[in-house]
Amino acid sequence: MNEKARNLLLTLSLTIVMISAALPIFMVQWTVTPYLFAVGAAGTTIARLTRNYTGKNFRLKRLYRIELFSSFALLIASFFLFRGERDWIMFLTVAAVLQLYTAFLIPKVEKEKN
């Protein structure tokens, strides 16, 4: 998968996750909400899995693995959303914090590398 397609998939998937996560918070009870969340989480995971970092910078490898772990946290959140339990909010928060952490550090480390 080329970089442009991966970025498009990631952007669309995270947008779907954000919208479908906001629906239960605003008391909108659609039956398709868990399915939308699951599709977004799966798209995010696919986009993260297809990215290969072949460099030797251990810190960047670790940050990309953290991003992948946050995608798995989204998948776990979708599982709990299907079951109707409130634990999905905790996994969504973990995923959001990890993605926010890596969103700031990956460009910084790549800038320091060059």
Distance CA 10, CA 70 (A): 13
The tens digit of pLDDT for each residue in 78-91 reads: 999 999 888 999 99
Domain parsing of the chain, residue ranges:
3-113
The predicted structure's pLDDT at residue 37: 96
SS3 content of the chain, % helix, strand, coil (to 5): 80, 0, 20
Amino acid 101: pLDDT: 97
Chain CA centroid to CA 25, Å: 19
pLDDT of residue 35: 95
